[in-house]
A = this chain, B = another copy of it.
Amino acid sequence: MAKEGADMTEETQFMIDTNPGKEPEHVESSGDAKEMRAVVLAGFGGLNKLRVTKKAMPEPQDGEVKIRVKACGLNFLDLMVRQGSIDNPPKLPIVPGFECSGIVESVGENTAGFEIGDRVMAFVNYNAWAEVVCTPADFVYKMPEEMSFAEAAAFSLNFVAAYMMLFEVANLREGMSVLVHSAGGGVGQAVAQLCSTVPNVTVFGIASCSKHAAIRESVTHLFDRNVDYMQEVQKISPEGVDIVLDCLCGENTAKGLTLLRPLGTYILYGASNMVTGETKSFFSFAKSWWQVEKVNPIKLYEENKVIAGFSLLNLLFKHGKCNLVKSVMDKLLCLFDQKKIKPVVDSLWALEEVKEAMQRIHDRGNVGKLILDVEKSPTPLMASDSTETSEAGEEEEEPEGDNDSKERMPFIH
């Protein structure tokens, strides 16, 4: 797998030099209160397209909530946005990021339900990776008191997506079986936890070997993503599985459909296989579109199978389903209160460390969610010797080589 370490040294240096560990208080009390720090994507491509810069602070419009951001979620989709490997890529420059948590700083006209000081988590149609963000109140949810900002930023997208796929699209019930790819990722861990709230559900998880020790307890059966998982699953469950959750696409689509038992549901919720290198030169969205094997409805009829696609962001921002998502969030917060689910945070990163964070998710090094902690300063080790990161990135041949980096990253397991 290609590494994204190239050109990182200079950029990292630049980012840190121009943003010498500012505390949020400094920003708030600085001379120009209308500016904020934000990650900006200047062009589609590699890591060097990302910079932390000052931007004009947004003000809430009608129906919007202005949030002082504490933590942001980083998802695989953000890599695809960076590469432009998505349908209808946005006009650049933009501030990436689709979810955050923080404190309500003000509300726009005709905005009901929120007050200044409320601790909230929110979906944003881009713009999340900044010190301040404005988003319609329809996409904002109050946080439970027991939830940290990092947990909240790890909660919304992963748990809502996992819940809706399992219970809205596929109708998970007692005794069923679920196969989930990227079982160690944010959605994968949410799926595993939600499955455990239903009696007698078997979870087949697929993940890189390096994650197995950390996630073994969360699933029933665990397979290496590099082995022939089909054969392994069929050995254990010759009839197949009830639900397949696939964020990879490509050859896994046909495999997933084959593994389904009658009346089973395959759900495609991402296409991370499109990203094989730093840039989209090899796999653009259009190319992937044509390379995915298409499905004949008559085959589904013969085999009694179901195939579904699920994109939470499209559901929210294109398809106007915010009320449905709100009702799902209410159910999830109940489960959180009952301590039946709890977001898994992999690691916290300063805005200035967004490239290293992206490299980690690209290398499938994470267990759970990567969080951009807006108040965090880049770790001293990286600031003092940023070339080490770059070299590590270039030298690492195996995904298992994460032990080195653990020493310089503040992990939360």
Contacts and interface: CB of A to CB of B under 8 A. Distances in A.
Interface of A: 87, 164, 168-169, 171, 249, 253, 261-263, 265, 268-271, 288-289, 292, 294-311, 314-315, 319, 321, 324
A301 B271 contact: yes
B298 A289 contact: yes
A309 B314 contact: no
Contacts of A305: 308-309
B292 A298 contact: yes
A309 B315 contact: no
Given A269-B301, A304-B315, 14 more contacts: A87-B302, A265-B306, A268-B297, A268-B298, A268-B300, A288-B298, A297-B307, A299-B309, A300-B309, A302-B311, A303-B309, A304-B311, A306-B308, A306-B309
Interface of A is mostly: mixed
Nearest to A271: B298
Contacts of A171: 168, 171
Contacts of A304: 309-311, 314-315, 319
Contact of A296 (B261, B269, B289, B308): B289
23 contacts: A168-B263, A261-B319, A262-B314, A262-B319, A265-B306, A265-B308, A268-B297, A270-B301, A294-B295, A294-B296, A295-B296, A295-B297, A299-B309, A301-B309, A301-B311, A302-B314, A303-B309, A304-B309, A304-B314, A306-B307, A306-B308, A306-B309, A307-B308
A289 B302 CA distance: 11
A289 B299 CA distance: 8
Contacts of A303: 309, 314
A289 B294 CA distance: 13
Nearest to A310: B304
Q: How many copies does the complex hold?
A: 2
Contacts of A308: 265, 300, 305-307
A295 B307 contact: yes
Contacts of A269: 301
Nearest to A303: B309
A174 B311 CA distance: 24
A270 to B, nearest CB: 8
Contact of A292 (B87, B297, B314, B315): B297
A292 B311 CA distance: 26
Contacts of A302: 87, 309, 311, 314
A3 B67 CA distance: 69
Of A168, A249, A300, A321, chain B has the most CB atoms within 10 Å of the CB of A300
Of A262, A297, A301, chain B has the most CB atoms within 10 Å of the CB of A297
A201 B321 CA distance: 19
A314 B300 CA distance: 11
Contacts of A311: 301-302, 304
